[in-house]
Structure 1
Amino acid sequence: MDMDGDWPLPRPRTRFRIDRRRSDASLTSKTSIASTFSSLAMPVVIEAVQRTKALSSGVDPEAFHQLRVAFRKLRALYWAYSPWLGEEATAQASEEFKRLAAVAGGTRDWDIAGDLLETAQKSDASIELLVTAAREKRAQAVAHSQAMIKSEAVEAFLNDAVLRAQTTLQSRCSDLPIRAFARQRVRMAQRTLRKRSRRAARSEAGHEESLHDVRKAGKKLRYLLEFFQPVIKGDHDRTIKELTSVQKTLGEFNDIAASETLIRNTTFDEVPADVVEKSLQWLEERKCQRIDVASRRVRAISG
């Protein structure tokens, strides 16, 4: 879990001017590396802030999920620009994005586990006790997320982080065009995905973790293609579509594996141990089914 991140959320000394245009409207192959950063980052920042504000009064499962996605996209973008931002600045911002995503993700994790348990309940009515307990855990996760993610603090942090990054980039690469740089970072993400896919394809021990690594690498590549598609040559819609499909397959497996771990590591005072065990057995059976499907998809892309 990434719940122990403690990098502070500073209120910016200088307010960053938000460009509300679509990111692809201002991107061309001759645009500089520095100027593209805010064009790409700010739409994601705006979305994250809007969703954070909505969480103060709402408990929509999709809102928590999309907030987590927004923070993941920002991590991918900071990774892309890390050669110019510097290792320390990238690591600081990325760790806070990761922490915030984890806090938002707690509710989403219980949503997924609850849905799976409701399916398991159809074959064993006694699991209803665990379904009810999971709903209570979900409510606790909502309260935790709302307490830990304050929209004012998140907005201040994100604006400050982008301002700092923009200032750094303007001082280091304000005249360098984006195309070659973007293509190089996309190629690096592609190599990482290929390497992890091949490792997972031949892996036996720790196979679940290998599949998870492939999933993370695939997400990073897809986000970068979506960010940089306006400035890199070629039609990447097909690649994005294929990555999305692979992510869906790996995500279905990961949902089951993560739910199993979540339930196994949680104490349910009002649920008999045998009921918890039956739910874990059901999840284990489904996980074994899904891991074969996920493994075949990974082998297919590893070449």
Structure 2
Amino acid sequence: MSTSDGHPALEIELKLAFPPEARDRIEAHAVFHGPRAAGPRSGHQVTTYFDTPDLALAREGLSLRVRAKDGRRIQTLKSETAANGAAATRGEWEWAVRSGRPDASLLLGTPAAAHAADRLEPVLITDINRTTRMLTLGDTEIEAAFDEGFIRTGGKELPVHELELELKAGPPGPLYQLALTLHADLPLRLEPEAKSTRGYRLHTGRPPAMHKTTKPDLAPDVSAADGFRQILGAGLGSLIGNQPAAISGDPEGVHQMRIAVRRLRTALALFKPHLEPHTTVRFGEQLRRLGQVLGEARDWDVFTLDTLPAALDAGPMHDLLAPAAQARRQAAGNAMREELARPNLTGLVLALAAWAEDETLMLDAAARTARLVDLAPGLLDRLARKVTRRGKHISRLSPPELHKVRKSLKKLRYAVDDVAPLFSAKRVKSFRKRCTGMQDELGSINDATMAVTLVEMLASDSQPDRIPAIAAAAQWGDKRRQKAMRKLPDRWAEFRDAAPFWR
């Protein structure tokens, strides 16, 4: 809802999808009964979403709807925010209206103001039976809403079976704890897409879109706890937000989920001296395991779509290896989709989000009272020292040793991105440039090494007609690796001589 001064309220909610046959079992859960739960209220909601003929509002991350409920009509504008955590966070403006069509004059003073004079037409309808209960958990009030019905557009429809948990008042920690409690007992999974997003996809026929990870915009005086929470939230938002694209087979969706896992692991590594160790180790193990599954799918995506065409061009040799590579890619993609469909991902995201909201479980006493800008130099020093130690005598290192240097450098680079708003932009840019140069060469070496590894896996399939093509692809990988190795000492010297901007 909009506030009295015209600014939007922030809506914070979790969407948890469930199989239709599980509705009664979920609603019978003890958390929805007893003194902490108000009685249920049921109603029927028909909501029409409007947009310009060219869907300009959707392109700008806005949704405009008119909802008929209890004899009233409510016009609502919502704005997408950067993915930031397990829960969706959106700006929301709300007005009572008399008509079933939006009042465009109300859009003045909102992000949709530029479209107040545009023609607005209905795009999709959601037809939902909703049952709500208010839950009081300490100082936190949560609205739990069971939504079942359909999203309809152009003669097509999608079923909806989901539980929405919306924070109405108080701190968000109990929201995540409630979701964790329910998830432990019931078949629930996080639904990262709003109904409107799913409806627009149904309308256009487009697959789910990937979302690049956004860097947290930390305030200069942010506390260590809030800084860690925001950094973790950005990674979690990207992880769960790219799940639909990854499941649909979009290579960039897989790539962004893998990056999100790396960023989350970096956050744990950066703050490690101040984090509760037992919890940190277990979260790290879960993230590493997820990263391995995503990594295998990503490696075969790159090999099949990029490496083979570059190494062999279009021709007979490429055609000999492409079917086998595609089969491996399909198998890795299927394994990834099976992993993402399991309950583990939802449990991991909710657990990390709940943990980040409890400072006493998350951080030691020193960090709980410190500003992040005061802790960051020591934290970055640790990561930088690890890169320097692993990169010593870099021209003599084996491919596995270079891979370790690359992983440590990536962690440093991600950590630099995370805390960059706390320091001089000019000095950060200079240091980041040195990191990027080094990263590019190590990336080329890793890609070439991986190409040879995957080619050798194809060779193990015992198809003699592939041998010449396999040899050609391996030779291409070796040449590329040698070229990058020649540049590596200079890039290493540039990086090693870079002045740390945090000192």
TM band (smaller chain):
0.7 to 0.9
Gaps of 5+ in 1: 1-11
What is aligned with 1:72? Answer: 262
Q: Distance in 2 between matches of 1:171 and 1:121?
A: 54
CA, structure 1 residues 22+211, in 2 after alignment: closer, same or farther (shift >3 Å)? closer
Q: Distance in 1 between matches of 2:402 and 2:215?
A: 34
**Does the Cα contact within 8 Å between 1:130 and 1:271 map onto a contact in 2?**
no
Q: Distance in 1 between matches of 2:394 and 2:437?
A: 18
Match of 1:24 among 217, 222, 242: 217
Match of 1:243 among 435, 439, 464: 435
Secondary structure of 2:259 counterpart: helix
CA, structure 1 residues 45+123, in 2 after alignment: closer, same or farther (shift >3 Å)? closer
Task: For residue 124 of structure 1, report the CA deviation from its aligned partner.
Answer: 7.1
Secondary structure of 1:192 counterpart: helix
Q: Distance in 2 between matches of 1:295 and 1:208?
A: 15
CA, structure 1 residues 41+230, in 2 after alignment: closer, same or farther (shift >3 Å)? same
CA, structure 1 residues 251+170, in 2 after alignment: closer, same or farther (shift >3 Å)? closer
Match of 1:213 among 395, 404, 418: 404
Once the two structures are aligned, what percentage of the paired residues are identical? 23
Q: Distance in 2 between matches of 1:271 and 1:106?
A: 25
Any idea what the Cα deviations from partners look like across 1:149-184, whole Å, max 9, x if unmatched? 138642331121232244213673422222221111
**Does the Cα contact within 8 Å between 2:286 and 2:348 map onto a contact in 1?**
no
Q: CA RMSD in A?
A: 2.6
TM-score (norm 2): 0.51
For 1:1-303, list aligned pairs within 5 A: 13-15=177-179, 23-25=216-218, 27-29=219-221, 31-56=222-247, 58-114=248-304, 115-122=306-313, 125-150=316-341, 153-167=344-358, 168-169=361-362, 172=365, 173-201=367-395, 204=396, 206-232=397-423, 235-266=427-458, 267-270=460-463, 272=465, 274-275=467-468, 276-303=470-497
* Count of residue pairs brought into register by the alignment: 282
Secondary structure of 2:440 counterpart: helix
Task: For residue 186 of structure 1, report the CA deviation from its aligned partner.
Answer: 0.9
CA, structure 1 residues 149+271, in 2 after alignment: closer, same or farther (shift >3 Å)? farther
Q: Distance in 2 between matches of 1:171 and 1:117?
A: 49
CA, structure 1 residues 28+122, in 2 after alignment: closer, same or farther (shift >3 Å)? closer
**Does the Cα contact within 8 Å between 2:274 and 2:363 map onto a contact in 1?**
no
Q: Distance in 2 between matches of 1:142 and 1:236?
A: 37
> Residue 24 of structure 1 aligns to which amino acid in structure 2?
D
Q: Distance in 1 between matches of 2:311 and 2:372?
A: 50
CA, structure 1 residues 100+154, in 2 after alignment: closer, same or farther (shift >3 Å)? same
Any idea what the Cα deviations from partners look like across 1:248-281, whole Å, max 9, x if unmatched? 2211121110121123235335563523344323
> Residue 147 of structure 1 aligns to which amino acid in structure 2?
E
**Does the Cα contact within 8 Å between 1:76 and 1:224 map onto a contact in 2?**
yes
> Residue 92 of structure 1 aligns to which amino acid in structure 2?
R
> Residue 279 of structure 2 aligns to which amino acid in structure 1?
A
**Does the Cα contact within 8 Å between 2:223 and 2:372 map onto a contact in 1?**
yes
Q: Distance in 2 between matches of 1:183 and 1:283?
A: 39
> Residue 32 of structure 1 aligns to which amino acid in structure 2?
S
Secondary structure of 1:24 counterpart: coil
Q: Distance in 2 between matches of 1:131 and 1:244?
A: 32
**Does the Cα contact within 8 Å between 1:52 and 1:67 map onto a contact in 2?**
yes
Secondary structure of 1:59 counterpart: coil
Flag the structure with larger Rg. Answer: 2
**Does the Cα contact within 8 Å between 1:68 and 1:105 map onto a contact in 2?**
yes
Task: For residue 65 of structure 1, report the CA deviation from its aligned partner.
Answer: 1.0
CA, structure 1 residues 271+97, in 2 after alignment: closer, same or farther (shift >3 Å)? farther
Task: For residue 146 of structure 1, report the CA deviation from its aligned partner.
Answer: 0.5
Flag the structure with higher helix content. 1
Q: Distance in 2 between matches of 1:200 and 1:121?
A: 30
Flag the structure with higher strand content. 2
**Does the Cα contact within 8 Å between 1:260 and 1:284 map onto a contact in 2?**
yes
Task: For residue 295 of structure 1, report the CA deviation from its aligned partner.
Answer: 4.0
